[in-house]
Every structure is written in C-alpha cells, then in structure tokens.
Structure 1
Amino acid sequence: MTTKAYGAHAADQPLQAMDIERRAPGPRDVQIDIAYCGVCHSDLHTVRSEWGGTRYPCVPGHEIVGRVSALGGEVTRFAIGDVVGVGCLVGSCQRCASCADNLEQYCENGFIGTYNGRTDDAPGHTLGGYSQRIVVDDKFVLQIRHPEAQLAAVAPLLCAGITTYSPLRHWNVGPGKKVGIVGIGGLGHMGIKIAHAMGAEVVAFTTSEGKRQDALDLGAGAVVVSRNKDEMRAHAGSFDVILDTVAASHSLDAFTALLKRDGTLVLVGVPEHPHPTPNIANLIFARRTIAGSLIGGLAETQEMLDFCADKGIVAEIEMISAQQIDEAYERMLKSDVKYRFVIDSASMAGG
C-alpha cells in the first residue's frame, strides 16, 4: 500500500515528500491512519546520521497518534476507529528475560525501532511516523484515553513522556522525595510535569535565567540556575533522585554532589561526545549512583499514558506542517521551541 511520507535519501539532503510502501495487515497487525507525529531530537540525529548506521531512505518519527483503520483477523484489543499510539518500538524478540519482564526496550536480541530498524519488509528497514499511515504488530500499539482536543499534545508522550516517567517510577519518586530535573526542553518539561503529578518536591535546573518562570509554571517548586554556584550549594546533599535530560556533554560532578547518601543521578540523554569522567570520591563517600534509563516497555508506556490521562498531562507543543520539518530541525538545534514540535499529518496530502 502506497503512503505519503517525508524523509531523506542521504544524510546531507533535506527531508522531502516521498511515497513509501506499507505492508498489508497480517493476522496480528493494526493499520493506523496517523493524525500527529512528534519531532524528537533522535529523529534529527538519525536522519543526519550523526550516530552512524542510518539506512536510507530514512523516514523518522516515533511519537505517533492516530486512528485504527484496519485490523488483522486475530486482533481483539482494538476496533476500527480507536485512537491509538505507537512509540519507539515496533518489535522485539519476545523470548529473552527482558521481554518476559515487559522490558522490551532492553531486549537482549535487539528491539526493532519504529524507524531505522531491520525488517523483512521493503526497503529492509522500518520507516517511521512522518507519514500518513503505518502498520504495526498489535502488541506494540497503545490505547489513548485523552480527549480529542489534546491528541496532538499527546504524541510526545510516546517518547519524551515515557523516557522521563520510567526512571521516575523505577526510582520510586513520590511524596516525600526531592527530585531534580536537569534541562527544560522536550524531555525536561515532561519530567517536571510528571514528577510534580507524582507528588514529589521538584527542583528544575537550567542554565538560563529566562526559563525560571517557565519551569515554575510547569510545576517545579523551585528553580536553580546551574551556573550560579551559590544556588547550587544551597541544595548540596539534599536530592533523592536527579534526572538529567541534557544530551550535550557536561560535567556530572556538580549534580552528584547534590545527592543525598544513596541518591541517584539518572541519565536519559545520549551525548554526541562522552561526559568528562566523574569524581569518583563524590560517589564512594556517600554511596551515590550514576545510572541510565531507556524509554520504557509496552506495559509501562500504557501505564504512563493512563497516568497522564488521569492527571490531565500533555506536552507543550508547537504544531507544524510536514513542509516545515527542516526548519523545525534548525530551530530545535537552537532550543527555539517550547517544548516539542508536532507534525500535522494532514499536511502531507499536499506533498
């Protein structure tokens, strides 16, 4: 089935309209007419091959919201017309210990990404949500309960939402816990909203004084400009968890020093160049931990969507047409978005 999409044929080429082929739904497949797709920084890294290994043509997009338009004969969880989502995964081995624990993102045989993942379908790799339609195994399709008016702002929950929700849940964030969120961007703004909704004391860290009021409006109880040593020192040894969403290389020492004994600094951003080696004494003398976290499994992603629906949480977005994607990438590089671009898939009809 031919579907309109936006993608690139090479790392140094702009994204452009293209026609791609989607498979006919198999017995366990769900066909989704895409309404909205969020724009993640990973899309930019991949389409420009900044992480290497990009397969072309590359159609990015893994923050997908749409409606079911066709079903395989064995699918029972969904009906035609249901509002559904697809995140970063469209397949995993379903045999390893991680898959058995509903942690498909840690599949020991390698999960299949929504784009740039190996597949038997032509062209030999998955093509993502910058398109009008997608066909996905029903296990990797998620139910969305948010009201119609919020659906565009739900799309970023499928990556930015689960990327922050999963570590906050894993490290038991809730009432009585003090949580720091480093970086107020696509990920960080979701981390602030979710940690606040979980009942934690939330402190936002930013390098920009201009983002102080924004962070307070998002739900932070306090804001620290991380370049201000006095502001940083005032919070020394007081955090249970700090979630670091910054994808640029930076020193971690200033943040590990803010942790309580047994506190954890969780990294969710992958820098282009490694972070400087942390001061090990900071860790040893207070049994502190530096950890990492990757998106979430399907069960936890559904839990996150339900939590956000119950709490009225969505992303702060700016809607764009498909024709504005390259411009949006350039603005994203300058942090000129509050806080997530979302593509209106209807705009692809015009090519």
Structure 2
Amino acid sequence: MGNFVDTCRECWFCLNGMEHYCPKIIVTYNGLDKAGEPTYGGYARSIVVDENYLVRIPDGLDLAAAVPLMCAGIAVYSPLRRFDVGPGTKIGILGVGGLDHLAVKFADALGAEVTALSQTTSKKEDALAFGADDFRTTTDPATFLERAGYFDIIRCAVSAALNFDQLLSLVRFDGTFVNLGAPDGPVSIGMFSLIRSRISFTSSSIGSIAETQEMLRCCVEHDIVSEIETLSAERINDALDTLRQVGGGNVRYRYVIDTSTI
C-alpha cells in the first residue's frame, strides 16, 4: 500500500485535482482497492474510506435525495463546469433520465438557456418543471430544421447507438458535443459532421473530490436534489427486474436503497 500511495503522490492526475482519472485508482464497479482486495458496493452496512476521498454533505440537503448526486450528479456537473456553461450558453440536454434530469437542473441553475431533447414527449412536463426553457423531440424532423446549428453545447448521456450525424447538425460552428454515454457496441460518426462546422466531439467521466464538494454547495444554494424513489432491501430484486424488463426510462428518476432495512 505504501508504494501505491507514494506513486500516486507523484501522479499528474492526482496532483492536478483529477484523481478520478488516475489509472491506478479503480475502486468502484467491481474493482480492487489499494490493498488489492475486491471492493464491495452499496449493499454494505459499513465501509472504511480514505479521508481524502470523503465529501461533506452540507446542512439542508436531504440525505436520501443527495445519494445519487455522488454519481449521477457529479457526472453531469463536471462537464458543465469544464465548458463554462452559464449565462448566454445554449445547451441541449439529450434525454430526460437519471443523469439528464440533474443536468437540466444544474444547467438552469448556472444560467444557461436549456433545451431538453428526447425521443418522446412523455417527460416534457417534468423537463420543464426541472428548469428547461424548451423541449424538443428528436423524432420530429422540425427539430432539426428549426434548431440547426443552434446549440453551443449538446450533452449526451444516452448509452445507445444514436444517429450522431443528425444530432451534430444541431451544434453551432465551433460548438461542442459532450458524450457521457457508453453503448455496448460500436457507434458511427461521419467525420464531415464534425469538420463542416469545426465541432469538437469530446467525453467526460465523473468528477474530482473537490469538484464534488463544489457541486454539493451548488445544490444547497439552488435547492437541487435528485428525484428519487426510496426502496427497502426486500424490493431490490423487484427494482432490478423493472430495470431489466422496461429499462431505466420508466424510473423517475433514481432508486435509492434504505440501508437500515438491509
């Protein structure tokens, strides 16, 4: 463990506040901890944590609703801050799901003009209530005519093989498409879709500890939490069956387990 710590003290990522990209720290999603032991997930009753990887939940945040902020929240907050989303920014949020509903809330809080983009209108009222200024469907050809070259940024967390060429037509000259989604199979992007308007296609993972603490302060300031459904331990398998059978699209918007029932 000592060698691991010494190495990471010299790691460029860790020294520059980007420890979440350090190739030596993979401690979630069935990874290994510093001692080489398997990590265990959210069903644990207790856990030992390095103090350098703790954040303080500010007073005023409901603990249950704050839980998804540690993953979904920071995953969408980090690219918004990285690309200086704020007043004057026209941003398209692709999808209205577990990550996306928080992206709409954060982008609105940061002062951007927010458009929610979704395949159907089933979550239109929710998206507008979360702070979206406009709602457009990606199945309507009028969206691509009326919003061609409109957005400074499109942020996508959809894990599916989308028609990226069509979506890129919505991005302005020198705009940015930020992808967080991870489809199982290959995706296709025509290079001319990027070249014709000098568009940047980039990606993002999660966020640093410092950035997570900043995000939590933003949540308190703007009264932002995740929309959740709290589950007892006995309902976990039912929830997993729901996700397998109908996908996450019908969950509004995150399941949270009450660990006192484990």
- Structure 2 residue 253 is matched with structure 1 residue 339: yes
Under a length normalisation based on structure 2, what TM-score does the superposition of the two structures give?
0.92
Alignment match, 1:97 = 12
Query: What residue ranges of structure 2 are gaps of 5+ in the alignment?
Result: 1-6
Alignment match, 1:173 = 85
Q: Distance in 2 between matches of 1:176 and 1:330?
A: 43
SS in 1 for 2:8: coil
Q: What code does the residue aligned with 1:93 have? A: C
Q: How far does residue 332 in structure 1 lie from its aligned partner after superposition? A: 2.7
Q: Distance in 2 between matches of 1:146 and 1:268?
A: 30
Alignment match, 1:319 = 230
Q: Distance in 2 between matches of 1:264 and 1:120?
A: 36
Q: How far does residue 144 in structure 1 lie from its aligned partner after superposition? A: 0.7
Q: What code does the residue aligned with 2:96 have? A: I
Match of 1:134 among 38, 47, 50: 47
Match of 1:147 among 60, 73, 81: 60
Q: 1:99 to 1:215 in 2, by over 3 A?
A: same
SS in 2 for 1:319: strand
Q: 1:232 to 1:94 in 2, by over 3 A?
A: farther
Query: What residue ranges of structure 1 are gaps of 5+ in the alignment?
Result: 1-91
* Deviation string, structure 1 residues 179-235 (Cα, Å, up to 9, x no partner): 010011101001000000000000001111111111111110001110101123211
Q: Distance in 2 between matches of 1:143 and 1:240?
A: 33
- Structure 2 residue 149 is matched with structure 1 residue 234: no
SS in 1 for 2:114: strand
Alignment match, 2:3 = none
Q: Distance in 1 between matches of 2:90 and 2:225?
A: 23
Contact map agreement 1:115 1:125 (CA 8 A) in 2:
no
Under a length normalisation based on structure 1, what TM-score does the superposition of the two structures give?
0.69
Q: How far does residue 112 in structure 1 lie from its aligned partner after superposition? A: 2.6
Q: How far does residue 113 in structure 1 lie from its aligned partner after superposition? A: 2.1
| Structure with the bigger percentage of helix | 2
SS in 1 for 2:99: helix
Contact map agreement 2:93 2:103 (CA 8 A) in 1:
yes
SS in 2 for 1:142: coil
* Deviation string, structure 1 residues 40-78 (Cα, Å, up to 9, x no partner): xxxxxxxxxxxxxxxxxxxxxxxxxxxxxxxxxxxxxxx
Alignment match, 1:329 = 240
Q: Distance in 2 between matches of 1:110 and 1:252?
A: 32
Q: Distance in 1 between matches of 2:10 and 2:255?
A: 36
Q: Distance in 1 between matches of 2:186 and 2:10?
A: 33
Alignment match, 1:287 = 198
Q: Distance in 2 between matches of 1:189 and 1:265?
A: 18
Alignment match, 1:211 = 123
Contact map agreement 1:179 1:202 (CA 8 A) in 2:
yes
Alignment match, 1:193 = 105
- Structure 2 residue 31 is matched with structure 1 residue 117: yes
Alignment match, 1:278 = 189
Contact map agreement 1:242 1:264 (CA 8 A) in 2:
yes
Q: 1:128 to 1:94 in 2, by over 3 A?
A: farther
| Structure with the bigger percentage of strand | 1
* Deviation string, structure 1 residues 133-166 (Cα, Å, up to 9, x no partner): 1110000010111426x11000000000000000
